[in-house]
Structure 1
Amino acid sequence: MRELYIKQKVFSLSGKFTVKDGEEKDRYYVEGSFMKVPKTFSILNASRDEVALITKKVFSFLPKFYVEVNGQDVVTIKKEFSFLKARYTIDAAGIEVRGNWWDMNFQVLQHGQVVGEVDKKWFSWGDSYRVQVLDEAMETIVIALVIAIDCVKADESSSSSSVSFD
């Protein structure tokens, strides 16, 4: 089992942050595209090779995010049409998310087996998450999924804050 920590920088316009291990060493680098269409987040390993890419689909009626790991589409997160509360679904072959992923407290399962657990750290400056990876072969997918969910949440909060009622 490996514990990783994601702490985003508050007020970071570029969307750059790192994923650290328990010894505070950088394991992954995340770089968001700033002022670029489509909006993307690249996840790089310690050697700075891209291992995952998160892309927000443009020109879509409802927001949709695609997650690629090692060049393969593995996860799609899409907003469902709803009048009252934002509702999203996660589509991934053999991968399931159980728990409250909107509050960043959930488990990631592959074919019914828990491969990762995520919990949000409270009382910290900015968003901070602890990610426990139980199956190291799934590490990149779990990290990409956590970052993609965080992107969805950030997108939702920015779109709801830009709505004004005159």
Structure 2
Amino acid sequence: MKQLYIKQRVFALSGKFTVKDQQGNDVYYVEGSFMQIPKTFSIMNMTRDEVALITKKTFSFLPKFFVEVNGQERLTIKKEFSIFKARYTIDGTGIEIRGNWWDMDFQLLQHGEVIGQVNKVWFSWGDSYKVEILDEEMETVVIAVVVAIDCVKADQAAAASSGGSA
């Protein structure tokens, strides 16, 4: 089992942050596009090679995000129409999420086997997550899913705050 940590900078306009190992060493770099359409997040390894890409679909009635890992589309996160509470679905190649993904407390399963687990770290400045990788072959997919879900949450929060509070 491998543990990684994601801590976003609270006021980073460009959406740049790193994924660190238990010793605090950078393992992945994440860069979000700034003022660009479509909005993307690129996940790069230590040699700055892109290993995953998250893209928000533009001109869509409801938000939709595509997650590619190593050049192959692995899953789609899309908002479903609901009146009272935001509801999202995740479609992927055998990937399922169980738990409360909105509060970043969930397990990732592939064909019924747990491949990763995510827990929000409380009492920290900004959003911080502990990511446990149980199937190291799926490490990039797990990191991409966590970043994608966080992107969905940030997009939802931005939409709620710009909706006006009278």
Q: Which runs of 4+ in 1 moved over 2 A?
A: none
Task: Specify whether residues 20 and 165 from structure 1 end up closer, same or farther in structure 2 by C-alpha distance, changes over 3 A only.
Answer: closer
Aligned to 1:115, the other structure's residue is in SS state strand
| Distance in structure 2 (CA, Å) of the matches to 1:25 and 1:105 | 24
Per the alignment, residue 135 of structure 1 pairs with 135
| Distance in structure 1 (CA, Å) of the matches to 2:84 and 2:2 | 39
Aligned to 1:164, the other structure's residue is in SS state coil
| Distance in structure 1 (CA, Å) of the matches to 2:164 and 2:130 | 35
Q: How does 1:107-146 map to 2 (within 5 A)?
A: 107-146=107-146
AA in 1 matched with 2:59:
F
* 1:94-134 Cα deviation digits (max 9, x unpaired): 11000000000000001100010000000000000000000
Structure 1 residue 8 and structure 2 residue 5: aligned? no
AA in 2 matched with 1:164:
G
Structure 1 residue 27 and structure 2 residue 24: aligned? no
**How far did 1:165 drift?**
5.4
TM-score, reference length from structure 2: 0.99
Task: Specify whether residues 165 and 129 from structure 1 end up closer, same or farther in structure 2 by C-alpha distance, changes over 3 A only.
Answer: closer
Per the alignment, residue 48 of structure 2 pairs with 48
Per the alignment, residue 153 of structure 1 pairs with 153
Per the alignment, residue 91 of structure 1 pairs with 91
AA in 2 matched with 1:58:
T
| Distance in structure 2 (CA, Å) of the matches to 1:164 and 1:130 | 33
Percent of aligned positions with the same letter in both sequences?
Answer: 72
| Distance in structure 1 (CA, Å) of the matches to 2:97 and 2:28 | 22
| Distance in structure 2 (CA, Å) of the matches to 1:164 and 1:100 | 27
Per the alignment, residue 65 of structure 1 pairs with 65
RMSD over aligned Cα atoms = 0.7
| Distance in structure 1 (CA, Å) of the matches to 2:79 and 2:135 | 29
Per the alignment, residue 78 of structure 2 pairs with 78
Unaligned runs of 5+ in 2: none
Unaligned runs of 5+ in 1: none
Aligned to 1:154, the other structure's residue is in SS state helix
TM-score, reference length from structure 1: 0.99
AA in 2 matched with 1:63:
P
